[in-house]
Amino acid sequence: MMQAVAIDHRRLGVNFTGEGTATVRLWAPKLEAVHIRFRDQTLPLLPEAHGYWTLTIPNLQPGDDYEFITPNGKAIPDPASLCQPQGVHGPSRAVDLAAFVWTDHKWVNPSQDDYIFYELHVGTFSPQGDFQGVIDKLSHLKALGITAIELMPVAQFPGLRNWGYDGVFPYAVHAAYGGPRGLQELVNQCHAQGIAVVLDVVYNHLGPEGNYFKEFGPYFTSKYKTPWGDAINFDDAHSDEVRRFFIENVLMWFRDFHIDALRLDAVHAIKDLSPIHILKAIRQEVDAFIQNHWCMHYLFVELDLNDTRYLDPLKRGGYGMDAQWADEFHHALRVTAGQERSGYYSDFHGVGHLAKAYRDAYVYDGQYSEHRLKCFGIPATHQAGNKFIVFSQNHDQVGNRMLGERTSALVSFSMLKVMAGATILSPFLPLLFMGEEYGEKNPFQYFVHHGDPQLIDAVRRGRREEFAAFHDAGEAPDPQSESTFRNSKLQWELQQADDHRALFQYYQALIALRKKHPALRHLDRHALEVFFEEDGDILVLHRWHHADHAWCAMNFSNRAQRVALANDQPLQNVLDSGNAHWNGKETSPGMLQASSFILPPESLVVYTGKYD
């Protein structure tokens, strides 16, 4: 069994001892010899057990560029590089992570229940498209009520623009964003504002361009195939050291960058039949890190499986992940709000499935799925509300549309407010996608900046084939074109326009109500009732905590309808999407004395009351 990872310092790549020397450690079992070249020197590394090569160097300094030289004279960057200032094919740059002066010593990671996520792409979030651009907008996020930003992947990828899932240097922070120093400063500033930082990381594959891993060792295995080719080698020969590489990457983000939580991309695509799954091994090492450092860090996952094994604690045979993205809530909500039932949306039947998502977290927990052509999922009965992250949009659901239209381009202004309330007032952890809080109109489209002409053609061809049935809607934007990237940038000036300003204030009110009201703040999935009318597209979500009760009534239809609440006590209207303050046109009763009332079309209202 693989030995425990040293969690107090980074061991791979180039590291500085604090005594004027640097240590170099490279795993390269495929190489019979390897040298490190920096400045005007070329030095041989010394072999160690299990395919490692090491050296202690007295005159390698932070800021020096270096590369490894193979026996045939080929120069290759460090797979554990922290910085690639000349791109994925250039030399690596030595960085002393310990040199950053942190000022977040009093920072305490919020309780998981208090996470309100804001997913953003660094390159399109601000005009300058870097970490400083995010820092400049932290006051906006603080005013909104966000408690955690979630960064799409920042590991070094080819070119200057990319979603980040084509990264090929898991340890290197993308140079154009500001490199490792820029990320450390962003985290430091977020903590000063009371905002946690979640980082999206990719451990299911590595991108194609600039991927030199096969030059060094068996980082991949042909035992399994993934959508991206051979799987990362988590259970084949030599897998101990591959597992170590990625586990140490997890610990680096927490230890050296003060990241509060990781979002592990598409963990269903990780292939591992080891007795200890790599996710379980990561959980064990993170638990040890938490215990030794007296700090809390979370592990969230994107999971396209309704399988509670990923969420179950280690003592119950699970992998111990803290929460998963709940795509089915999104799908049910979008169909209820009028989304066409095509592709994976074909499995969802509107308000009844949305009600099931509120009650059961999973819509499919054993039923037959017409889209998957099999029974799918298991019940999530024993999983708490904070185990599920829900959203009305995210980078995937927007960007994987052919034209990348945001929800604001697909539904009415009134429906935007209903969908926001349905998400933020749910018994789960809500996630917003950048710009949705003010109704951003620019799309978020798929973009890349590859240097390999054949790869560029392959990406273009793949997008055309993916949307071949949708030519009536036009052509898919060219992923390689800089205009596709620029068209995806946020338009911050929109916030000054009337409806956009009103929508932002509405989001503020929703988030403040969630934080303030006990029935909405506590994520007890058992203190919940859901009533719905399939024919009328009406849903009432009733939540409570002790004597405090909240009813959230939602009308997804385009006509006014009578709604009945199962109560006999006076109730107070505490939030109404039809209020003129948020550019609404028709409100519900301010005080509710009767058990029923007329709910205007495409509207949401929240009533609260106390029961002894």
Model pLDDT for residues 492-514, shown as the tens digit of each residue: 999 999 999 999 999 999 999 99
Is there a binding annotation on residue 264? Answer: yes
Residue 545 binned pLDDT confidence (cut-offs 50, 70, 90) = very high
Residue 472 binned pLDDT confidence (cut-offs 50, 70, 90) = low
Is the pLDDT score of 339 beyond 90?
A: no
Percent of the chain with pLDDT over 70: 98
Sheet holding 548-555, edge to edge: 528-533, 538-545, 548-555, 603-610, 571-576, 591-592
Which of 50, 72, 98 is the last residue in one of the domains?
A: 98
Which of 44, 77, 98 is the last residue in one of the domains?
A: 98
Residue 7 is predicted with a pLDDT of: 63
Cβ neighbours around 524 below 10 Å, total: 13
Q: Are 155 and 164 in contact (CB under 8 A)?
A: yes
Residue 568 binned pLDDT confidence (cut-offs 50, 70, 90) = confident
Section 337-351 average pLDDT:
91
| Residue 293 parent element (H or E) | helix 278-293
Section 95-118 average pLDDT:
97
Query: Which of the pair, 468 or 93, is modelled with greater confidence?
Result: 93
Q: Quick: pLDDT tens for 131-159.
A: 999 999 999 999 999 999 999 999 999 99
Is there a binding annotation on residue 206? Answer: no
For the chain, percent helix, then strand, then coil, each to nearest 5?
A: 30, 20, 45
Which of 98, 121, 153 is the last residue in one of the domains?
A: 98
Bridge partners, 432 (sequence order): 118
Question: Helix, strand or coil for residue 556?
Answer: coil
Query: Is 561 a member of any domain?
Result: yes
Distance CA(284)–CA(445), nearest Å, equals 37
Section 478-497 average pLDDT:
97
CA separation (Å) from 127 to 121, 444, 461, 593? 12, 15, 30, 51
Give the residue ranges of DSSP H helices in 193-277.
Answer: 213-216, 239-257
Q: Structure pTM?
A: 0.97
Residue 469 binned pLDDT confidence (cut-offs 50, 70, 90) = low
Query: Is 554 a member of any domain?
Result: yes
Distance CA(425)–CA(511), nearest Å, equals 8
Percent of the chain with pLDDT over 90: 90
Is the pLDDT score of 593 beyond 90?
A: no
- Which CATH number belongs to the domain containing residue 81 in this structure? 2.60.40.10
Residue 467 is predicted with a pLDDT of: 85
Q: Are 529 and 549 in contact (CB under 8 A)?
A: no
As a whole number, the mean pLDDT across the chain is 95
Section 364-392 average pLDDT:
97
Query: Which of the pair, 538 or 467, is modelled with greater confidence?
Result: 538
Is there a binding annotation on residue 220? Answer: no
Query: Is 330 a member of any domain?
Result: no
Is the pLDDT score of 442 beyond 90?
A: yes
Is there a binding annotation on residue 263? Answer: yes
Cβ neighbours around 4 below 10 Å, total: 11
Task: Name the pairing type of β-strands 538-545 and 155-156.
Answer: unpaired
Query: Is 596 a member of any domain?
Result: yes
Query: Which residue segment(s) compose the domain that 574 sits in?
Result: 526-610
Residue 6 binned pLDDT confidence (cut-offs 50, 70, 90) = very low
Residue 280 CB contacts under 8 Å (≥ 6 apart), including other chains? 314, 318, 319, 320
Is there a binding annotation on residue 330? Answer: yes
Query: Is 85 a member of any domain?
Result: yes
Query: Is 606 a member of any domain?
Result: yes
Question: Residue 325: what residue type?
Answer: W
Is there a binding annotation on residue 535? Answer: no
Is the pLDDT score of 302 beyond 50?
A: yes
Residue 1 binned pLDDT confidence (cut-offs 50, 70, 90) = very low
Residue 470 binned pLDDT confidence (cut-offs 50, 70, 90) = low
Q: Quick: pLDDT tens for 14-34.
A: 999 888 899 999 999 999 999
Number of domains in the chain: 2
Is there a binding annotation on residue 268? Answer: yes
Residue 595 is predicted with a pLDDT of: 80
Query: Is 179 a member of any domain?
Result: no
Please tell me which of 191-195, 222-226, 468-472 the model is most confident about, judged by mean pLDDT: 191-195
Which positions are annotated as active-site residues?
Answer: 265, 302
Residue 585 is predicted with a pLDDT of: 92
Q: Are 494 and 485 in contact (CB under 8 A)?
A: no
Query: Which of the pair, 262 or 473, is modelled with greater confidence?
Result: 262
Is there a binding annotation on residue 398? Answer: yes
Query: Is 53 a member of any domain?
Result: yes
Task: Name the pairing type of β-strands 22-27 and 229-232.
Answer: unpaired
